[in-house]
Structure 1
Amino acid sequence: MQSDLSAARFSEKPPSSSALASRQRTRRSAFVGVSLIVFLAFLSTKLQGLRKTRFGGYPQQFLSSASTAVCPQVDALFPNRNADLWETTLQQTASSHFKARSIDLLAGAVQIPTESYDAMQPVGVDPRWDVFGEFHAYLARVFPLVHANLKLQKINTYGLWYEWTGLNSTLKPVLFTAHQDVVPVGPFTGGEWTHPPYSGYFDGHRVWGRGSADDKNGLIGILTAIETLLENGFTPTRTIVAAFGFDEEASGLEGAGELAKVLLGAYGQDGLAFIVDEGDGISKTFGTVVAYPCVAEKGYLDVVVEVTSPGGHSSVPPDHTASPGFALAFTVLTLVFADHRYSRRSPRPVRGQSVPRAARTLSRASVPFQTFQCLAQYGSTLPPAIKALIADSVNSDMALHTLEGILSKDKLYRSQIGTTQAVDVVSGGVKSNALPEEAHAVVNHRILAESSVSAVREHNVALLQPLAEKFNLSFNAFGVGVSQPGVPSSGNLTLRDLSDALEPAPVTPTNGEISAPYQVLSGSIKAAYNTRRAANNDNSTLIVAPSIMSGNTDTQFYWKLSPHIFRYGHGNSAGLGPEDILDGIHTVNESIDADDFVEIIRFYITLMLNADESSVL
């Protein structure tokens, strides 16, 4: 990799002068199922016999010398041309003064309750947006060099677009993004917080409050990195862009949705070298420290299932087959139990027609498959039988199927390897003595990258058409008449979208000549991590494994800007118990480790400098 990433120095260890005091930390990412670790340990004994009876033994070469092509790694990447500046920033960010200043910056941001809600009225109409003006004034005050040296445009009033113009306009810019808004604090949860949710309280170890981990740590981290580079006289060669939406927690249409339009106009399709947004971080998994940049993101589809039929007095009920409430109950049970994650079996074909595959199996082309290969290759405590099974799944369909079955035992891993569906809303009827004239359910789908919105819609149609026939209902699905009973129908079964559907995101390349941005990111992650472990004589090795984002970030609006999109937060939290494993994100007691936050800033500085001098982006 050294020759491919020229213009930068690679090394297993950072320069000795960059050693910084730290403690080793662990964080759970989307791929770290605590319950699965216990389960795999138990299962490994079973698989020892299975490998002999069903597979005739797994290839031992996978256990002794796994191919690096399965999970390619680059060395830590340190700035070369900007080496002196990088060393200076390392010393600066290691100081107690810098840490205290960074804590104050984040705490101040947390103290401004920039909450976004579902179904808010447009900017300028709904007064709940006004708090973002206060937040902007805060940013202008605490980041004076950023606001004096970068171009700032406000899009749709509260969207922030910063541009730090580089000296070489032929180089593609890089985009760092985060969101200003936070999820509201539940009105009845105030007493459950260790420290008030908008206090920004620092207890000597952690900063507490809504937004501290999602996502003001990213926003303040990016701006602090830029402010620090400006303080040291840096002028970028490659343009650096920062864009901050303000309603990510409520779909992102007003913020990133509008920002994307102007960014596309300014930089053009595929006009950015790469994009980094919030996402997974670092975790100790099977004895190995692993960083999980998300290079894919699931699609999204909400389907309304509606049943209607004539009502009446409950004292004279119709046959059950004519009751919309009864039909809906069967529909919901079918959705919940018959095929709830699309990856064990498909519904029975209707009238001899084939049913589309909606990511029914773990695919070798999928990002989760790459992740598991990395864990098998580098996970030091992964049970040998499981490691062999994962390795064998590269070529053996039977091993692949067995692996899928094992992963399906854990709900977290199960959600990663297939399209999921969840019945989230069910309603019907208005009075205990009146037959319901309408009943409906809302079903949420998270769509795997190998599937599509159309495949999931078709799957729903195939799954529910037998029910329409069973209950003698006319069936209309997504604006198309599917079936009409030969006799007068008892009612209607309708499927429709609740809101705009989202296709799965394009997958960012992680291998081959077109994967240079992923390599630069990986090397920068390792360099930032190494700066903390060196001073502690910590010999742990960080590996980088691509992963998939189950939720959706503001990057859903940025697909046209770059084929290289990373959802990564460099979180590396310390000693959290299972109940706090996600730093209280979207719930009570949201907080972040202060040393962790400083490392996040250092990561952004490292990546900005590496990208600035890279000749391969």
Structure 2
Amino acid sequence: MQTTSAPPVSRAAAALAELVRFRTVSSRLEHEVDTGEFDGFIAALARLYPAVHAALDLERVDGHALLYRWPGTGPDAAARPAVLMAHYDVVPAGDPDGWTRPPFSGHNDGTYLWGRGTLDDKGQLVAVMEAAETLLTAGFAPAHDLYFSFGNNEETAGNSAAAAAELLAGRGVKPWLVLDEGGAVAGGAFPGVTRPAAVVGVAEKGILDVELLTRDPGGHASTPPRMGATARLARAITRIERSPFPQSLPDVTAEMLRRFGPHVPAPMRAVFGRLSVFRAPVTLLFGRMGNETNAMTRTTVAITTLEGSAAANVLAATARANANIRVAVGETVEGTVERLRRIIRDPKVELRVVEGNDPSPVSAHSGAQWQLLEGCIAKAFPEALVTPYIMMGGTDSRRFTGICDAVYRFAPFYMDAEARGSIHAVDEKIALETLERGVGFYETLIREL
């Protein structure tokens, strides 16, 4: 009896299920990274995608990052290279008892595939590899060089992506297009918009961690001083909470609203159609609608860690807090730290930049690269509105802005509010249909490139 091969989505789902089982959890502490899991993932990838590994050149960058080169066959193969990106490291899963399905099980229930990394970002990596394997099997060869850059520490340092970009720069490779994770086909992304929105990140906010440190002689808790280390730190945090950074409506966000305009209820349609008149009240409204819209309009500050005394009856000699800051496009790390000093208004609160980078340059939402990307999204998701936006989070793609002017951030997956909320949280999962459409998107994109 003759058998037929499984359809691409079945193969993609099986591959993703296997790859999710590798606990490729990244950490800033080297001893907490299980390199065996990363080695196992890389070995499994070679076995799952034999055509890719036979036809493409592969080199490991910075230990466990992967850089593939698919040589172009055209006369100017190296003149218009493109880079498709993803990462295969994941954040910790937390308490597995909180998950409906075990976080590293790769459980397939016939509708969803469950596990840490299915959406962020092993699913995207599998979609790229699945598309390439399918095209190679069909005899396809690209006209221009095509690179796949898969990072191993995006969730922490991101220095592997920086090393890959530096490697390409040293070889004189200037990508025509770079596409990484980021936006998605979002359902319920904006109030009043009933159609799903394919939001494509054309820039991302800067990421800055600042340590707030206060000092005090310490001593016994039975004789506390006024404004000790912890009290001084608490006052600084309270002042930050009460003094949000100023608002603005970036041009990219204004363009997003313009594109939403024809698809929202009549009162909002009139406002979005005349943003030159209503820009100030819209900006103010965004700040009050919710956390997501508020973050679109300003630099945000979140106090994420606190540290004081190690004992209940001992005064803290030092107290620390970490401020995780997302720097708005148009602002800088230096200016942000100076504003923070003015808000705190206390020279005894020391500020130390732990790590930080300015916002990325803004890629155009017009021109050949944007039009190609927009067209491929429209083919895979004809029901979706395509719009640029500014990403709140960070990706490995920011490391490539020095060698490419057209850097975009888009995951070709449908994500409703529940799916978006599961990223970095419990019950992360991807719908099998979503995975299939993602593979189709990359097949179209690779052919068009």
* Compared CA separation, residues 225 and 192, structure 1 to 2 (3 A): same
Say if 2:249 is the partner of 1:362. Answer: yes
Contact 1:361 1:418 in 2 (8 A): yes
2:273 maps to what in 1?
A: 391
Contact 1:213 1:583 in 2 (8 A): no
Distance 2:287 2:119 in 1: 29
* Compared CA separation, residues 435 and 547, structure 1 to 2 (3 A): same
1:551 maps to what in 2?
A: 393
SS in 1 for 2:60: strand
Question: Which of 1 and 2 has greater Rg?
Answer: 1
1:456 maps to what in 2?
A: 336
1:374 maps to what in 2?
A: 259
1:509 maps to what in 2?
A: 364
Distance 1:240 1:571 in 2: 22
Say if 2:65 is the partner of 1:159. Answer: yes
Distance 1:248 1:583 in 2: 19
Contact 2:204 2:393 in 1 (8 A): yes
1:260-339 to structure 2, matched below 5 A, reads 260-268=165-173, 271-285=174-188, 286-318=193-225, 320-321=226-227, 323-337=228-242, 339=243
Deviation at 1:543, TM superposition (A): 2.2
* Compared CA separation, residues 128 and 386, structure 1 to 2 (3 A): same
Distance 2:314 2:231 in 1: 14
Query: For residue 302 of structure 1, what is the amino acid of its counterpart?
Result: D
* Compared CA separation, residues 208 and 434, structure 1 to 2 (3 A): closer
1:518 maps to what in 2?
A: 370
Deviation at 1:446, TM superposition (A): 0.3
Distance 2:22 2:316 in 1: 46
1:420 maps to what in 2?
A: 300
Say if 2:350 is the partner of 1:494. Answer: yes
Distance 2:282 2:294 in 1: 11
Contact 2:78 2:145 in 1 (8 A): no
* Compared CA separation, residues 314 and 133, structure 1 to 2 (3 A): closer
Distance 1:518 1:316 in 2: 65
Deviation at 1:171, TM superposition (A): 2.5
Say if 2:204 is the partner of 1:204. Answer: no
Contact 1:117 1:250 in 2 (8 A): yes
Query: For residue 389 of structure 1, what is the amino acid of its counterpart?
Result: V
Say if 2:384 is the partner of 1:542. Answer: yes
SS in 2 for 1:131: helix
Structure 2 counterpart of 1:242, from 129, 133, 148: 148
1:92 maps to what in 2?
A: none
Q: Relative to total residues, which structure has the larger strand share, 1 or 2?
A: 2
Query: For residue 272 of structure 2, what is the amino acid of its counterpart?
Result: I
* Compared CA separation, residues 127 and 565, structure 1 to 2 (3 A): closer
* Compared CA separation, residues 312 and 192, structure 1 to 2 (3 A): closer
Deviation per CA, 1:414-460, whole angstroms, max 9, x where unpaired? Answer: 01111100112222234444433222221111011121112211211
Distance 2:217 2:176 in 1: 59
Say if 2:49 is the partner of 1:172. Answer: no
Distance 1:196 1:311 in 2: 45
Distance 2:364 2:36 in 1: 40
| Percent identity over paired residues | 29
Distance 2:55 2:232 in 1: 63
Distance 2:197 2:33 in 1: 43
Contact 2:16 2:123 in 1 (8 A): yes
Query: For residue 564 of structure 1, what is the amino acid of its counterpart?
Result: A
Structure 1 gaps of 5+ residues are 1-94, 344-359, 469-474, 476-491, 531-540, 612-617
Structure 2 gaps of 5+ residues are none
Query: For residue 384 of structure 2, what is the amino acid of its counterpart?
Result: L
Contact 2:67 2:150 in 1 (8 A): yes
Distance 1:424 1:289 in 2: 32
Distance 1:334 1:401 in 2: 25
Distance 1:180 1:604 in 2: 18
TM-score (norm 2): 0.92
Q: Which portions of structure 1, spanning 4 or more consecutive aligned residues, are displaced by more than 6 angstroms? A: none
* Compared CA separation, residues 431 and 391, structure 1 to 2 (3 A): same
Deviation at 1:185, TM superposition (A): 1.8
Distance 1:127 1:288 in 2: 42
Deviation at 1:96, TM superposition (A): 6.4
Distance 2:54 2:294 in 1: 49
Contact 1:280 1:571 in 2 (8 A): no
Contact 2:419 2:429 in 1 (8 A): no
SS in 1 for 2:120: coil
Query: For residue 386 of structure 1, what is the amino acid of its counterpart?
Result: M
2:28 maps to what in 1?
A: 118
Structure 2 counterpart of 1:408, from 287, 292, 311: 287
Query: For residue 282 of structure 2, what is the amino acid of its counterpart?
Result: L
1:146 maps to what in 2?
A: 52
Distance 1:596 1:240 in 2: 24
Structure 1 counterpart of 2:14, from 100, 104, 107: 104
Distance 1:303 1:445 in 2: 8
Structure 2 counterpart of 1:598, from 436, 439, 447: 436
1:349 maps to what in 2?
A: none
Contact 1:273 1:564 in 2 (8 A): yes
1:35 maps to what in 2?
A: none
Deviation per CA, 1:89-111, whole angstroms, max 9, x where unpaired? Answer: xxxxxx96222222212112112
* Compared CA separation, residues 97 and 238, structure 1 to 2 (3 A): same
Deviation at 1:390, TM superposition (A): 2.5
Contact 1:182 1:215 in 2 (8 A): yes
